[in-house]
C-alpha cells in the first residue's frame, strides 16, 4: 500500500534521531570508560609480571654492594627495564631497594648415610667411605617498592592519573653447596 501524499507527517517523526543524539555521547563515554579500565587492568598485570621477573633477575651481588640507596634503586630499575622491554615508560619509580643476608634463610644440614658405601675410583687405586651428606645454603631477601602511573586513554574522573604501588620481598639464594663426606 502506497502512502497518501496528502497525509500529514507524524509529530514523532524525528524522535528517534533526538534520542540517538542524546544517547550516543553517553554510550561513547561508557565505551571509553570500559576501554580505560581494560587498559589499566592490562597495565597492572603486565607491570606485576615484570616486577616478578625483575625480583629474580636482579644482580644480588651488585645490590648488596650498592653504596647508596639511589644506586640500589637504579640497579633494580635496570632489572625492571630489562624485563619490561618498551612496555612501561618512565612512569615506573623504584624506592627502598635493598638486599639483606638473613641467617634465618641460610641453612646447614648434615645427614648421615645409613649404609656406609665404599666407592672406588676408575683405576681401583683409591677407595672412599661415604659417611654423611653435607648441605649448605646461604640466602637473603631482595626487597623494593615499585610505583607506576597507569596510562590513560581519556581524562575521565576517577580513571585518570591512577598510581599503583607494590612492595616486593623475595628470598634469593646466594650460594648452595652439597658435599658427600
How would you classify the pairing of strands 127-149 and 107-120? antiparallel
pLDDT band, very low/low/confident/very high, at 135 (cuts 50, 70, 90):
confident
The pLDDT-based confidence of 4 (bands split at 50, 70, 90) is low
Q: List residues bridging with 117 in a β-sheet.
A: 130
In the structure, what pLDDT confidence band is assigned to residue 56 with cuts at 50, 70 and 90? confident
The residue with greater pLDDT, 125 or 67, is: 67
Which pLDDT score is estimated for 140?
82
pLDDT band at 132 (very low <50, low <70, confident <90, very high): confident
pLDDT at 86 over 70: no
Name which residue leads in pLDDT, 108 or 153: 153
> Which pLDDT score, from 0 to 100, does residue 24 have?
92
Query: What was the pLDDT predicted at 27?
Result: 92
From 4-13, 62-71, 91-100, the region with the lowest mean pLDDT: 4-13
Collect all residues with Cβ–Cβ distance below 8 Å to 126 and sequence separation of at least 6. 120
pLDDT reading at 10 higher than 60: yes
Q: Closest by alpha carbon to 135, among 101, 167, 165, 106?
A: 106
pLDDT at 69: 87
Residue 163 has pLDDT above 80, yes or no: yes
Backbone angles phi, psi at 66, to 5 degrees: -60, 135
Element (H, E) at 114: strand 107-120
The set of residues, in sequence order, having a beta carbon less than 8 Å from that of 100 and lying 6+ positions away, is: 140, 141, 143
**Prediction pTM value:** 0.64
Rounded mean pLDDT of the chain?
A: 79
Q: Residue 107: its pLDDT value, please?
A: 65
Amino acid at each position: 500500500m502506497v502512502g497518501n501524499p496528502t497525509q500529514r507527517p507524524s509529530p514523532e517523526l524525528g524522535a528517534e534521531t533526538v534520542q540517538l543524539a542524546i544517547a550516543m555521547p553517553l554510550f561513547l563515554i561508557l565505551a571509553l570508560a570500559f576501554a580505560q579500565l581494560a587498559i589499566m587492568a592490562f597495565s597492572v598485570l603486565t607491570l606485576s609480571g615484570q616486577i616478578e621477573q625483575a625480583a629474580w633477575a636482579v644482580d644480588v651481588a651488585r645490590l648488596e654492594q650498592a653504596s647508596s640507596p639511589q644506586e640500589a634503586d637504579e640497579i633494580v630499575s635496570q632489572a625492571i627495564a630489562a624485563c619490561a622491554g618498551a612496555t612501561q615508560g618512565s612512569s615506573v619509580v623504584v624506592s627502598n631497594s635493598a638486599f639483606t643476608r638473613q641467617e634465618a634463610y641460610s641453612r646447614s644440614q648434615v645427614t648421615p648415610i645409613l649404609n656406609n658405601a665404599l666407592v672406588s675410583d676408575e683405576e681401583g687405586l683409591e677407595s672412599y667411605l661415604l659417611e654423611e651428606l653435607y648441605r649448605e645454603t646461604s640466602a637473603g631477601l631482595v626487597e623494593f617498592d615499585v610505583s607506576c602511573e597507569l596510562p590513560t586513554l581519556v581524562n575521565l574522573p576517577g580513571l585518570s592519573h591512577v598510581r599503583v604501588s607494590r612492595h616486593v620481598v623475595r628470598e634469593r639464594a646466594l650460594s648452595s653447596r652439597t658435599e658427600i663426606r
